[in-house]
Structure 1
Amino acid sequence: MQIKAAVVQEVGAPFTLTDVELGEPGPDEVLVKIAGVGVCHTDLAVKEGHLPFPLPGVLGHEGAGTVVAAGTAVTEVAVGDQVAISFNSCSNCPRCAVGEPAYCHNFLEYNFGGVRPDGSSGLSAGGTELGGNFFGQSSLATHALAHERNVVKLPAGVPVDIAGPLGCGIQTGAGAVMNSLDVQPGSSVVVTGAGAVGLSAVLAAVVRDASHIIAVDLQEGRRKLALELGATHAIDPTAGELAEQIRAIVPAGVDYAIDTTAVGPVVEQLLAAVAMRGKVGLIGVPADPQAVFTVGLLQPQLVGMTIRGIVEGDADPKTFIPYLLDLHRQGRFPFDKLITKYPFDQINEAVEAQHRGDALKVVLTP
């Protein structure tokens, strides 16, 4: 079938709305009519060449919509079901076998390889095959092929057009708090970077009843929103040494620190602000894959510090997305306050708005 998709022709090029041919779903695939798709930092990192993916290609990995066709082997969802689409995984490796699909041994191949497991992409334009199957979906389009493995059926009443970011950015921030670091009630948490991922972590820390929730961001508007969402403190990192500002609030240091910036000096300041036996979670994607931060070999030993890399919030989307939606239904996880909707044909304008900070989490509606 012919669809519209936002194609990236080459590294650094803008998104171009293009007529694209989309193949039929394979036995374990579903065809989803997209109601809304989030624009994630990872999409933009690939677009700018910071992460690998074959171009020209179609990105997008926070899609949600309605199943309009299903392969012969699909049993978990059916035509007419509304779904959110998350990252893909193999289901067979040791990590998948123990319920940790975010650390699938084949994660790069299944999410960044540009093709399905059978070697086809399912997408072409003008007779040229495009990079597809991005995170098992390539959902910056009016329709997307996804796998039964990485779609999650949505309960009745969920606003499907804004559910897509639960599949990556929002579950990453929330999962860092709830799964990876397992933040405990009455503890202290600092989050550097109050974008969609960071503020999702703030929302999760509120759910976990943390006593001190400190958001750090350069933009005043984001700091204000963090306080509205439940942060107890908001820090401007330009107002003084970050570690000193954090310890002015929690003199003994914070129990948990989460970085979404991937900026080396910021991470170093977090390490200096961590309490005895504190935990640090790293979830930012660096612009430079070789970016580093410095930590002395003695410092982690002296304080018993844990430094943890985090992918997708250690989430199993099949269970974690429904959990977050149930919290949202109860009014305890208002992730909708992070979202600004734009028409799909304004994708480049939406990306610029997100870059300027005029929008926190863009969702495009075809």
Structure 2
Amino acid sequence: MKIKAAYADGTAPELTITEATLAEPQANEVLIKLVATGICHTDTAGRDGQTTPLPAVLGHEGAGIVEKVGQSVTTVRPGDHVVLSFSYCGHCANCLAGHPGMCLHFNELNFGGKNYDGSHRLHLADGRPLSTFFGQSSFATYAVADEHSVVKVTDDVDLRLLGPLGCGIQTGAGTVLNYLNPRADDTIIVFGTGAVGLSAMMAAKLAGMSHIIAVDIFDNRLALAQELGATEAVNSRTEDLATALKAILPQGADYTIDTTGVPTVVKEAVHALRPGGECVALGMGGEVTFNLMDDLLAEAKKISGLVEGDAIPQIFIPQLITYYQQGRFPFDKLIKFFDFDHINDGFVASKNGSVLKPVVTFD
């Protein structure tokens, strides 16, 4: 079928909207008419050729309505409202243990550029294949995704809001609720108050954590962080960070989360821990140098990397929607909509920080 899709080919700093051909879904796949798709920093990395073979149709926070299902699909049917999340195999040891974000085939399925069976569903008008991103490529009017990536959701919530639950918001909230699973009196510091960091803070509030400290360099973001759940806020540009954090938590925090990927910030996140505390790194970044004895071993500190909030999307995304309906997880305050034809404006707004979570909508 003919669709409109936004693709990157590595020759321009922006996405190009064009007509493309989308093949029919296979037995294990679902055809979705997209309603909206979130823009995430991972899309920027894909656009810039850092993760996925180009040319590629990006987009990995899709939400839409099922149009057709393959003969083996049992979890959704035409007309269902769905959110699209990351791709996973479903049969490796980690998937079977309930950790699909740690799937042994995660990188090939999400960044390898091909569908679950190793073939392409998307092609340009001249027949050239387009890489699939995160098993969905949802910067398009339609997408084909493996059943594992498709999450049925309630139809009484604005579907345009729900796409970011498939990655960025799931990542922040899931890190707290699924991976850390804190006690009510535990403490946490979140470095970076973008969509992922704010989602982590909203989750920390849900968990009843006693201190939820936001760290950023923008006062407007810190103000929103306090509105959404932060108990304290520190501007690391105008305050001495170590002194300010020690004044709040003299022994250090039980947990820290870094969403920035900035090496110096990651080290600050480790230094801010109490003995035995854990830092979870969520931001895409580069090399970080630690003194193994002084920074980690001497105080039994830990640093972990995590993707997708250690979530099972089919369970966790409906849970987040329930929290939203209860007024306990107001992630809609992060979102601003952009028409699909202005998708590149959404990328600009994300980069300059004027919008926390841009979402493109389709007619």
Pairwise TM-score range, normalised by the shorter structure: over 0.9
* Residue number in structure 2 paired with 1:300: 296
CA-to-partner distance for each residue in 1:216-273, whole Å, 9 max, x for gaps? 1112211111011111111111124322221121111111100001111111111111
Counterpart mapping for 1:52-201 below 5 A: 53-201=52-200
CA-to-partner distance for each residue in 1:297-324, whole Å, 9 max, x for gaps? 3442332212111111111101111111
1:50: how far off?
2.7
Task: Give 3-state SS (helix, strand or coil) of 1:132's partner.
Answer: strand
* Residue number in structure 2 paired with 1:48: 48
* Residue number in structure 2 paired with 1:205: 204
TM-score by length of 2: 0.97
* Residue number in structure 1 paired with 2:325: 329
CA-to-partner distance for each residue in 1:175-233, whole Å, 9 max, x for gaps? 11111222221221100010000000010010011111111111221111101111111
Opposite residue 267 of structure 1, the aligned amino acid is: V
1:11: how far off?
5.9
CA distance in 2, matches of 1:11, 1:197: 29
CA distance in 1, matches of 2:133, 2:3: 16
- Does the 8 Å CA contact 1:133/1:145 hold for their aligned counterparts? no
- Does the 8 Å CA contact 2:54/2:131 hold for their aligned counterparts? no
CA distance in 2, matches of 1:236, 1:46: 30
Task: Give 3-state SS (helix, strand or coil) of 2:108's partner.
Answer: helix
Task: Please give the root-mean-square deviation of Cα atoms over the aligned residues, in Å.
Answer: 1.3
CA distance in 2, matches of 1:27, 1:265: 48
* Residue number in structure 2 paired with 1:14: 14
Opposite residue 122 of structure 1, the aligned amino acid is: R
1:97: how far off?
1.1
Task: Give 3-state SS (helix, strand or coil) of 2:189's partner.
Answer: strand
* Identical residues among aligned pairs (%): 46
CA distance in 1, matches of 2:95, 2:344: 36
* Residue number in structure 1 paired with 2:350: 354
* Residue number in structure 2 paired with 1:36: 36
Opposite residue 255 of structure 1, the aligned amino acid is: D
Counterpart mapping for 1:246-257 below 5 A: 246-257=245-256
Opposite residue 260 of structure 1, the aligned amino acid is: T
CA distance in 1, matches of 2:291, 2:4: 48
Distance 1:295 1:328, change over 3 A: farther
CA distance in 1, matches of 2:289, 2:219: 26
- Does the 8 Å CA contact 2:5/2:19 hold for their aligned counterparts? yes
CA distance in 2, matches of 1:117, 1:227: 42
1:294: how far off?
2.0
CA distance in 2, matches of 1:166, 1:295: 37
Distance 1:15 1:135, change over 3 A: same
CA-to-partner distance for each residue in 1:88-128, whole Å, 9 max, x for gaps? 00111110111110010000111111111333211111223
1:277: how far off?
1.6
- Does the 8 Å CA contact 1:68/1:80 hold for their aligned counterparts? yes
Opposite residue 18 of structure 2, the aligned amino acid is: T
Mapped pair 1:237 → 2:233: no
Provide structure 1 residue ranges, at least 5 long, that are not aligned to the other structure: none
Deviates most, 97-106 or 293-302: 293-302
CA distance in 2, matches of 1:359, 1:15: 19
Please, which of 335, 341, 356 is the counterpart of residue 339 of structure 1? 335
Opposite residue 74 of structure 1, the aligned amino acid is: V
1:326: how far off?
1.1
Alignment length, in residue pairs?
362
Deviates most, 77-86 or 179-188: 179-188
Opposite residue 353 of structure 2, the aligned amino acid is: G
* Residue number in structure 2 paired with 1:284: 283
- Does the 8 Å CA contact 1:121/1:129 hold for their aligned counterparts? no
- Does the 8 Å CA contact 1:65/1:83 hold for their aligned counterparts? yes
- Does the 8 Å CA contact 2:116/2:135 hold for their aligned counterparts? no
- Does the 8 Å CA contact 1:84/1:154 hold for their aligned counterparts? yes
Task: Give 3-state SS (helix, strand or coil) of 1:238's partner.
Answer: coil
1:3: how far off?
0.7
- Does the 8 Å CA contact 1:265/1:293 hold for their aligned counterparts? no
1:12: how far off?
5.3
Task: Give 3-state SS (helix, strand or coil) of 1:34's partner.
Answer: strand
CA distance in 2, matches of 1:178, 1:48: 32
